[in-house]
Amino acid sequence: NFSRVTEFILLGLSDTRELQVLFFTFFFLAYAMVLLGNLLIIVTVRTDPKLSSPMYFLLCNLSFIDICCTSVTSPRMLVDLLSQRKAIAFEDCIAQLFFLHFVGASEMFLLTVMAYDRYTAICKPLHYTAIMSRQVCWVLVSACWAGGFLHSIVQTLLTIQLPFCGPNTIDNYFCDVPPVIRLACTDIYITEWLMVSNSGLISLVCFLVLVTSYTFILVTIRVHITEGHWKALSTCASHVMVVTLFFVPCIFIYLHPFSTFPSDKHICVICTVFSPVMNPLIYTLRNNEVKASMWKLWKRCRV
């Protein structure tokens, strides 16, 4: 007799009540910082005409994606930390999985585009305006969202075609591909490798493109270093920090067979919580133009 699973039980990060309260406080503050910090960046970039360069246009889109990405997992996690029974309906689980990979892959592609923008600005400064026009920026951002959608729809279709008829306990705080497909009542060898070749290779290829672009940038500024190059290098250093926090955990999680490691939930915290928190801090505290624009916005609001 075949019976389909109607809900999954999320084990979360810990079953100790004291730790759950501690995690709730920490993740609530982190989520608030992500929302406020990225919203502040978006409002600042949109209201200051001086921040109209492609770099700030892409930064504004990155802030929006960060808000979407952390909102897919954090609200549910905060509710579950205060709940005795952490259950999620099958349809809600699949929806969470879809949107997580949608915005996550879109952010990977956008970070790659931002690296290309920095490469063009430093290595081809005379052609930068023509190469990174506003129309080109819109096309690149649209391509990032389209690529994220295509990636996510493939992952989702591969997941929902599996039969789920037995275990329904997920050793994680949200629904993701690796812990969900482990519960399927069938051999997942082919599906597993299809997903690894999808998510894992996307993470790895984007990361290699980023490393290549930064290598060209370092070679360029090594030959002749000016004040403008030092400023660009500082921006790239901040970008590298975000890339490292985001890509390395994703490569580790999705580039190996999912059955190799029983749970990656503590590593998931890095790319779902810490990386979105670091983005507004890095791009504001290390960028004098953004800080100056925020200060002007604050003075206008006080008046």
The tens digit of pLDDT for each residue in 54-93 reads 888 998 999 999 999 999 999 999 999 888 888 899 999 9
Statement: residue 226 has pLDDT above 60? no
pLDDT over 70 percentage in the chain: 90
Give the Cα separation of 38 and 225 in Å (integer): 32
Q: Give the mean pLDDT of 287-295.
A: 76
- CA-wise closest residue to 147 among 35, 38, 65: 65
Place of tokens 């270093």: 225
Query: Which residues share a beta bridge with 89?
Result: 7
19-23, 228-232, 255-259, 270-274: the lowest-pLDDT one: 228-232
Which residues pair with residue 87 across a beta bridge? 9
Report the C-alpha gap between 157 and 25 in whole angstroms: 36
DSSP-derived pairing of the beta strands 7-10 and 169-170: parallel
Question: What pLDDT shows up at residue 1?
Answer: 44
The Cα 236–Cα 242 span in angstroms is 10
State the residue for tokens 């992500």: 34
What's residue 254's pLDDT?
86
Torsion sign (Cα): 239, 40, 79, 22: positive
Give the residue-averaged pLDDT of 206-230.
75
Residue 103: pLDDT above 60?
A: yes
Confidence of residue 190 (pLDDT cuts 50, 70, 90): confident
Extract the tokens encoding 164: 């789920």
How many residues can be counted in the chain? 303
Whole-prediction pTM: 0.89
Strands (E), the chain: 7-10, 87-89, 169-170
At residue 172, the 3 state secondary structure works out as coil
DSSP state of 6: -
CA pair distance 23, 179, nearest whole angstrom: 21
Distance CA 179, CA 159 (A): 11
The pLDDT > 90 percentage for the chain reads 29
The answer to whether residue 159 scores a pLDDT higher than 70 is: yes
Phi then psi for residue 82, to 5 deg, are -105, 5
